[in-house]
């Protein structure tokens, strides 16, 4: 057993070490000068957050301008007239008179089939017509000789009737022979195949030297698609049907076509068809526009972006999209009055490119902040700077080839 005094010494050493560690860990005492300095520093930071002066903003004076009412849709180009060219007689294909992909005219020769068998049929039918015509001429002469003899009772009436009947019979025979000749000539004409329409040819399925058979079955020799003009099929939501029907006979109604959404307009057309029923599965209505396509800007089967312009609103209020801010209840803009930025709720009608058309909330002549600064708040003092010429042009000359993807023709509720 250790002596008691050793145990007490160890306890005192441990207690002293713990007290020294606690004293070292305590912060230094605050002096009045230090407290004042810290408060002044905090006050300076708060003043910096409040800005300490007016916010510099750019403004634009609201001016009415003409803006279209549009429906954006995706469509596909299709040929207005497509023909699958097939042979109408059997024979060997001797010549192909065009190249794959050529644009051919109506009536242009495309193929030749060996015509020897059909030519022989024409010659045979021509000989039959000549024979029957000779027999008819002889019968008519016989009937003419017998008529005066019958009138003088030198022959019986029955003998004359036999001659007259033979004339009529041979007349019918000649008519039949002529019909057979026309049929043979028609078959002979089928040996040369011509383009039934003007259009662009596709790929060849049969080359010269092959035997072709008449009929509607099987692979056609070539397919011709008309491309001038061309149709563009569009599917638009059924909610837009009433707007389209109201604008159907208006002169402003047209369709602008571009190769892709946001691209430049490559062609314009007119609506020519509204389907007689709404697609119940998709809730869309099928429309078709006819495009002249004189330079073949569009190709059958091509997917395109279309913009249906229903009308042009002459006194619309349009602002750059950077001026319209989202809000909890409604979007809003900042209107400058008496050197202050006043928050003002607006109602959006539609968006055309980088411009937003408003139906309510802003009147002509008001000054609206564009490119709203992050620190701008309702009622804040502002330092006004007029928007540049580029901003002014952006408002007055909207890029209608770009859209936000929404096709709105009525104000938002």
- We report the CATH number of the domain holding residue 302 as 2.40.30.170
On whether residue 201 sits in a domain, the answer given is: yes
Q: How far is CA 309 from the centre of its chain?
A: 13
Q: Collapsing DSSP states into helix, strand and coil, what is residue 9?
A: helix
Q: What is the spatial distance between Cα 76 and Cα 233, in angstroms, rounded to a whole number? A: 5
Q: β-strand 265-274 against 254-258: which pairing, if any? A: antiparallel
Residue ending a domain, choose from 291, 311, 331: 311
Task: Specify whether 164 is located in the same domain as 181.
Answer: yes
Q: What pLDDT does 293 receive?
A: 93
Is residue 413 domain-resident? Answer: no
The reply to whether 174 and 202 lie within a common domain is: no
On whether residue 239 sits in a domain, the answer given is yes
- Residues 106 and 146 grouped into a single domain: no
Residue 351 is predicted with a pLDDT of 86
Do 294 and 171 belong to one domain?
Answer: no
| pLDDT at position 366 | 92
What is the secondary structure of 161-226 as a DSSP string? HHHHHHHHHHHHHHHHHHHHHHHHHHHHHTTEEE-SS-EEE---SS-TTSEE--SSSS--SEEEE-
| Backbone φ and ψ of 244, nearest 5° | -65, -40
CATH code, domain carrying 152: 1.10.287
pLDDT tens, the chain, 413 aa long: 445 656 666 766 676 666 655 555 655 444 444 434 443 343 333 333 344 578 899 999 999 999 989 899 999 999 999 999 999 999 999 999 999 999 999 999 999 999 999 999 999 999 999 999 999 999 999 989 888 888 888 888 888 888 899 999 999 999 999 999 999 999 999 999 999 999 999 999 999 999 999 887 778 999 999 999 999 999 999 999 999 999 988 888 999 999 888 788 999 999 999 999 999 999 999 999 999 999 999 999 999 999 999 988 889 999 999 999 998 889 999 999 999 999 999 999 888 888 999 989 999 999 999 989 888 889 999 888 766 544 555 454 454 444 444 444 443 33
Q: What is the pLDDT of residue 17?
A: 63
Shared-domain flag, residues 208 and 234: no
The pLDDT assigned to 25 comes to: 60
Is the residue at 388 inside a domain? yes
Contacts of 358 (CB under 8 A, 6+ apart): 317, 318, 319, 324, 346, 347, 348, 349
Residue 32 placed within a domain: no
Is 203 domain-assigned?
A: yes
Residues 204 and 104 in one domain: yes
Q: Are residues 183 and 205 in the same domain?
A: no
CATH number where 376 lies: 2.40.420.20
- Strand 355-360 with 192-194, pairing: unpaired
Asked if residue 386 and residue 319 are part of one domain, the reply reads yes
Q: Could you tell me the CATH number of the domain that includes residue 108?
A: 2.40.50.100
Task: Supply the range of the domain harboring residue 93.
Answer: 82-114+191-222
Residue-level pLDDT at 63: 92
Q: Mark whether 372 and 274 lie in a shared domain.
A: no
Please identify, among 167, 188, 209, the residue that sits at the C-terminal boundary of a domain: 188
Residues 213 and 183 in one domain: no
Domain membership of residue 247 (yes or no) is yes
Residue 372's CB: how many other CB atoms inside 10 A? 19
Q: What is the dihedral of CA 320, 323, 326, 327, to 10 degrees?
A: -140
The answer to the question of residue 35 being in a domain is no
- Alpha-carbon distance of 239 to 255, in angstroms, equals 18
Which residues face 344 on adjacent strands?
A: 333
Q: Answer yes or no: do 169 and 202 share one domain.
A: no
Among 222, 237, 266, where does a domain finish? 222
Take residue 60 and report the two structure tokens written for it. Answer: 């634009």
Number of domains making up the chain: 4
217 and 229 belong to one structural domain: no
């Amino acid at each position: 057993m250790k002596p008691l005094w050793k145990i007490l010494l160890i306890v005192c050493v441990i207690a002293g070490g713990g007290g020294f560690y606690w004293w070292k860990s305590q912060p230094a005492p605050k002096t009045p000068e230090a407290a004042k300095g810290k408060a002044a520093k905090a006050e300076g930071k708060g003043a910096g957050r409040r800005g300490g002066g007016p916010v510099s903003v750019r403004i634009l004076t609201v001016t009415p301008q003409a803006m279209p009412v549009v429906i954006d849709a995706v469509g596909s180009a299709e040929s207005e007239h497509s023909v699958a060219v097939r042979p109408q007689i059997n024979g060997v294909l001797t010549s192909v008179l065009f190249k794959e992909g050529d644009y051919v005219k109506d009536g242009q020769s495309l193929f030749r089939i060996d015509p020897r068998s059909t030519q022989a049929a024409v010659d045979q039918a021509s000989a039959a017509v000549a024979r029957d015509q000779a027999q008819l001429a002889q019968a008519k002469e016989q009937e003419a000789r017998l008529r005066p003899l019958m009138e003088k009772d030198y022959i019986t009436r029955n003998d004359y009737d036999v001659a007259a009947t033979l004339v009529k019979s041979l007349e019918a025979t000649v008519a039949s022979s002529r019909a057979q000749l026309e049929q043979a000539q028609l078959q002979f004409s089928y040996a040369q195949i011509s383009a039934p329409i003007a259009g662009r040819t596709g790929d060849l399925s049969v080359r010269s030297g092959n035997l072709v058979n008449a009929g509607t079955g099987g692979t056609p020799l070539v397919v011709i698609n008309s491309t001038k003009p061309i149709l563009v099929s569009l599917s638009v939501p059924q909610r837009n049907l009433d707007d389209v029907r109201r604008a159907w006979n208006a002169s402003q109604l047209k369709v602008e076509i571009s190769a892709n959404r946001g691209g430049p307009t490559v062609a314009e057309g007119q609506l020519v068809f509204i389907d007689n029923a709404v697609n119940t599965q998709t809730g869309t209505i099928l429309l078709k526009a006819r495009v002249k396509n004189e330079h073949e800007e569009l190709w059958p089967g091509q997917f395109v972006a279309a913009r249906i312009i229903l009308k042009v609103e002459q006194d619309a209020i349009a602002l750059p999209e950077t001026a319209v801010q989202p809000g909890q209840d409604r979007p809003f803009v900042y209107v400058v009055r008496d050197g202050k930025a006043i928050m003002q709720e607006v109602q959006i009608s539609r968006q055309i490119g980088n411009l937003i058309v408003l139906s309510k909330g802003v009147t002509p002549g008001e000054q609206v902040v564009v490119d709203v600064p992050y620190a701008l708040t309702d009622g804040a003092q502002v330092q006004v700077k007029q928007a540049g010429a580029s901003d002014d042009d952006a408002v007055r000359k909207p890029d209608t080839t770009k859209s936000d993807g929404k096709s709105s023709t009525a104000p938002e509720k």
